[in-house]
Chain A
Amino acid sequence: MIRVENLHKSFGDEEILKGITTTFEKGKTNLIIGQSGSGKTVFLKCLLGLFDAEKGEIYYGEKAINDMDDDEKKELREHMGMVFQGGALFDSMTVEENVMFPLRMFTKKKKDEMLHRVNEVLDRVNLVNANKKFPSEISGGMQKRVAIARAIVNYPRFLFCDEPNSGLDPKTAILIDNLIQEITKEYDITTVVNTHDMNSVMEIGEKIIFLQKGTLAWQGDNSQIFKTDNKDVTDFVYSSDLFKKIRDIQNLEG
């Protein structure tokens, strides 16, 4: 579990995060949603430790990240998996080498053991016959699968995904969403997904926090988000014509 207490972050005079308090639960896909500029990415980067918060605490388990020494932080990061928006695959390495990278860096496994684990996770993300290809030779959806495989190869306790569906067609996007949710259950990990894709909200939003101008405006799950009377949330949810029509049909059906 990740617990966030009163998190503040500014850049110069501009306050981006204004006292966020929430928890991300283990075994669930936790979604951070909000409009562009609402502070989602900054929040995620604070959780990852890429940005230092000015005020507030982030607890991984029982220990606050600010109370950890360098060794504890290093150990924590070895247990984090991250799927970046663009995949962030190392383009000088093949798919196999990319996925093997965390094992080479943090374990003392032999080459054949590492290869076995790599093939296991590539199989898990339904990626076959791509081991020797370079990231530039595979599609965007396949790159996301490789990024997920790399993130889970070393059995992480925390999985972070920054807009994993961006740039993907709707069908592939749903496949990636489902894969993230299945892996969360299978590995029993705390997953945090940063998204503004309403399909993801409907598919995998077991816990959703809605950010609005750097504040936590609403939190709940995907069954509650369509019933809330929070105007900011309804404006966001029903910003597309498709969802407006779904709402109208639901209203007609009573």
Chain B
Amino acid sequence: MKYLADIGSYFIMLKQVFSRPTKGSVLKELILKEIDELVIDSLGIVIFISFFVGGVVAIQTALNISNPLIPDYLVGFATRQSIILEFAPTFMSIIMAGKMGSFITSSIGSMRVTEQIDALEVMGINPLNYLVFPKIIALLLYPFVIAISMFLGILGGWVAGVYGGFSTSDAFIRGLQEDFISFHIVYAFIKTFAFAFILATVPSWQGFFMKGGALEVGKASTNSFVWTSVLIILTNYIITSLLLS
């Protein structure tokens, strides 16, 4: 019963996010601030993780294909497929659920605890539009983060494969080009947009409706990570079933 009430409150929140808009000039500033805090500030960790995970994927693939019947370009092919189809969009989003999601939940939760959200309401401002809508708009840039992740993941695979002696540069690049289906890129970005929406709204919902004090802010951040990850995994399954199967 509680889960039904939670789902209901999430959708009611979404309705309110898009009603009673905040003044345009203020909204513009809020969106730029959110782009800085959510997108730009995430680039460092995305670059670091993507590059090294790409490298690990290439090494692992190379070490598991000692059979001479398997073509040598498979390292590049497997790295490309893993990074584009799953690692960059899905697993990077789960990592972002921890980084970005906890930040969103704890900042909105702290505002709830210290009556800052009440202050917005008393002033006649729609706090959900003021706090959540700019995050949704800012995360429309999230696919660019994932594009960077894709590029660096493959680059990391190439560096590890070639300089680690697991593949030649020609074979790796041939693997990247082999049997390329451009719809896979479209599929990856469709699900990235869905994950961006989940990343902006689920942690906001957890923070906005939390009750209690500082301890509960911490609990809400943990719940936020769990809920966001679960929803990303479920959405990934549904979109994959619809678009690829």
Chain A positions within 8 Å of B, measured between CB atoms, are 48-50, 73-78, 80, 82, 84-86, 88-91, 101-102, 104-106, 160
Q: How far is B110's CA from A78's CA once the two chains are assembled, in angstroms?
A: 24
Which residue of chain A is the closest to B33 with respect to CB atoms? A92
Given contacts A80-B124, A90-B119, A105-B125, 8 further A-B contacts (CB under 8 A): A48-B122, A78-B124, A85-B115, A88-B114, A104-B23, A105-B26, A106-B124, A160-B122
Q: How far is B120's CA from A88's CA once the two chains are assembled, in angstroms?
A: 9
Q: Give per-residue flags for B16-53: 1 if the beta carbon is below 8 A from chain A beta carbons, else 0.
A: 00000011011000000000000000000000000000
Return the contact of A77 from the options B23, B110, B116, B122 (Cβ within 8 A). B122
- Residues from chain B with a CB closer than 8 A to the CB of A102 are 123
Is B118 on the interface with A (CB-CB < 8 A)? yes
* Interface residues on chain B, number (Cβ under 8 Å): 16
Q: Give per-residue flags for B171-186: 1 if the beta carbon is below 8 A from chain A beta carbons, else 0.
A: 0000000000000000
Nearest CB of A to B131, in Å: 11
Q: How far is B61's CA from A101's CA once the two chains are assembled, in angstroms?
A: 56
Q: How far is B128's CA from A227's CA once the two chains are assembled, in angstroms?
A: 49
Nearest CB of B to A145, in Å: 16
Q: Report yes or no: B118 in contact with A105, Cβ–Cβ below 8 A.
A: no
Which residue of chain A is the closest to B110 with respect to CB atoms? A91
Return the contact of A91 from the options B25, B116, B123 (Cβ within 8 A). B116
Q: How far is B121's CA from A76's CA once the two chains are assembled, in angstroms?
A: 12
Q: How far is B118's CA from A160's CA once the two chains are assembled, in angstroms?
A: 13
A86-B119 contact given A77-B124, A105-B23, A105-B125, CB 8 Å threshold: no
Which residue of chain A is the closest to B113 with respect to CB atoms? A86
Q: Report yes or no: B119 in contact with A88, Cβ–Cβ below 8 A.
A: yes
A88-B23 contact given A50-B122, A77-B122, A105-B125, CB 8 Å threshold: no
- Residues from chain A with a CB closer than 8 A to the CB of B123 are 77-78, 80, 82, 101-102, 105-106
Interface residues in B56-77 by Cβ distance below 8 A to A read: none
Q: How far is B19's CA from A74's CA once the two chains are assembled, in angstroms?
A: 14
Q: Report yes or no: B26 in contact with A104, Cβ–Cβ below 8 A.
A: yes
Q: How far is B125's CA from A49's CA once the two chains are assembled, in angstroms?
A: 13
Nearest CB of A to B112, in Å: 11
Q: How far is B42's CA from A188's CA once the two chains are assembled, in angstroms?
A: 50
- Residues from chain B with a CB closer than 8 A to the CB of A106 are 123-124
Which residue of chain B is the closest to A89 with respect to CB atoms? B116
Q: How far is B127's CA from A90's CA once the two chains are assembled, in angstroms?
A: 13
Interface residues in B174-213 by Cβ distance below 8 A to A read: none
Nearest CB of B to A47, in Å: 10
- Residues from chain B with a CB closer than 8 A to the CB of A50 are 118, 121-122
